[in-house]
Amino acid sequence: MNSFDFYNPTHIAFGEGKIADLNKLVPAEARVLVLFGGESARRTGTLDEVTTALGERQVTLFGGIEPNPSFETLMEAVAQVREQGVDYLLAVGGGSVIDGTKFVAAASVFEGDEWEILTQGGRNIERALPFGSVLTLPATGSEMNKGAVVTRKSLKAKLPFHSNHVFPAFSILDPTKTYTLPLRQVGNGVVDAFVHVVEQYLTYPAQAPVQDRFAEGLLQTLVEIGPQTLAEPENYQVRASMMWTATLALNGLIGSGVPQDWATHMLGHELTALHNLDHAQTLAIVLPAMLRERKAAKLDKLVQYGERVWNIRDGSAEDKAEAAIAKTEAFFESLGVKTRLSDYDLGEQHIEPLIASLESHGMVKLGEHGDVTPEVCRRVLQASL
């Protein structure tokens, strides 16, 4: 186990009806801006439920935060915060709305060019407005971590930032709020949570048995409940497990004290930035090929993963590793998330621009050993055609 610091002050309020707790979770005097995505928040009644729970507080709304939230849209929210003297933010939605709210929280009180929050990865954030979230889509873990990803459309750049100042003060997780989600988003959520765990687990043995067991427990649970949560949208218990699993997949816990990879995410971000694929689709495309490409370096953990998560018992280490990757690929497909570039009408001709974009963002030494170069990424993309 490596040395680490772990800190996560987000208060989780979990269960049916917890939106009513907003009245005690948000300060009584707060002037609140509620941020949300599309019209589903309004249509499903969640937005009404939220504003009712906020009672007499001054509440204004900002809708239209898109999937892969854009700097352009978020800066409109920043302007609204500044104009209206808002001092508390509330995100109602999934990872995109929460990520966007984190940016608005930091940018609203940032001195200087707000784009530099992204180009500096958040290191220059010195304060942020407090905010909470009401989660409606289990997937990204943003509801209980300090990271976010924002896309600047005009530059075709999708960049992450991190700061202790952007932990949500609280997040409300009510599984019933996921019942009306489109199945495509549900399947994407399972893949996203799964790959978050994999990025913190499938590296090399690091004498961290608890972190390994926790990661394997999350993956086993996703394998078990993934198909169920698609088949039975109103099964409360299954949706509850899905929601809590996705949160724990990326709240800093399982990654503490162990090496981390994230090459699949960084390459995936370029696919979204250039071709507007769903985040989880990019992960489903990149991960299997990335694992095959780096099978030798990851062999010990791939075998452990195969044995403990997929119950693979037969064959050589190499066989087990390949079987584990094939199982992963088949799992993504079974959730309705396609795993090939060609499934999304992308081909050979799209590879070089993706590599150029990766290089332009300085993503040239990725992975737990820093040896995932653009050349490696090119082979990965070729293998995922």
- Contacts with a copy of itself, residue ranges (CB under 8 A): 1-18, 207-210, 212-214, 216-218, 220-221, 224-225, 237, 240-241, 244-245, 248, 253, 256-257
C-beta separation of 339 from 175 below 8 A: no
CA distances from 353 to 155, 287, 290, 358 (A): 14, 19, 19, 9
Of the pair 32, 309, the CB lying nearest a copy of itself is at 309
Residue number, 3 or 154, with CB nearest to a copy of itself: 3
Q: How far is the CB of 14 from a copy of itself (least distance, A)?
A: 5
What's the min distance (Å) between Cβ of 4 and a copy of itself?
5
Asked if 325 and 305 touch (Cβ cutoff 8 Å), the reply is no
Cα separation, 110 vs 341, in Å, equals 39
Shortest Å, Cβ 59 to a copy of itself: 24
For residues 1 and 317, which CB has a smaller minimum distance to a copy of itself in the complex? 1
Q: Kindly state the smallest distance separating residue 91's Cβ from a copy of itself, in Å.
A: 19
At 169, is the secondary structure helix, strand, or coil? Answer: coil
> What distance in Å separates the CA atoms of residue 298 and residue 372, rounded to the nearest whole number?
13
Strand, coil or helix: what is 211? helix
| 180 in Cβ contact with 240 (< 8 Å) | no
Rounded Cα–Cα distance for residues 81 and 60 (Å): 9
Smallest gap from Cβ 191 to a copy of itself, in A, equals 18
Cβ nearer to a copy of itself, comparing 108 with 133: 133
Q: Which of 198/253 has CB closer to a copy of itself?
A: 253
Tell me if 102 sits within 8 A of 171, measured CB to CB: no
**By three-state DSSP, how is residue 29 classified?**
coil
Cα 260 vs. chain centroid, distance in angstroms?
A: 15
CA–CA distance, 26 with 213 (Å, rounded to integer):
36
Please give the structure tokens belonging to residue 192.
């996203």
- Nearer residue to a copy of itself within complex by CB, 2 or 52: 2
* CB-nearer residue toward a copy of itself: 8 or 51: 8
Q: Is 348 exposed, middle or buried (0-12, 13-18, 19+ CB in 10 A)?
A: exposed
CB of 348 to a copy of itself, least distance (A): 41
Nearer to a copy of itself, 71 or 214 (CB): 214
Burial class (CB in 10 A: 0-12, 13-18, 19+), 325: buried
Q: CB of residue 68 vs a copy of itself: minimum separation in angstroms?
A: 28
Q: Minimum distance from CB of 46 to a copy of itself (Å)? A: 18
Tokens of 336: 């309705």
d(CA 180, CA 234): 8
Q: In the bound complex, what is the minimum distance in angstroms from residue 242's beta carbon to a copy of itself?
A: 10
**Cβ(81)–Cβ(122) under 8 Å?**
no
Instruction: Report d(CA 305, CA 194) in Å as an integer.
Output: 13
Residue 70 vs 221, nearer CB to a copy of itself: 221
CB of 242 or CB of 290, closer to a copy of itself: 242
Smallest separation, CB 365 to a copy of itself (Å): 25
Both tokens of 100, joined, read 């966007």
Question: Distance between terminal CA atoms of the chain?
Answer: 37
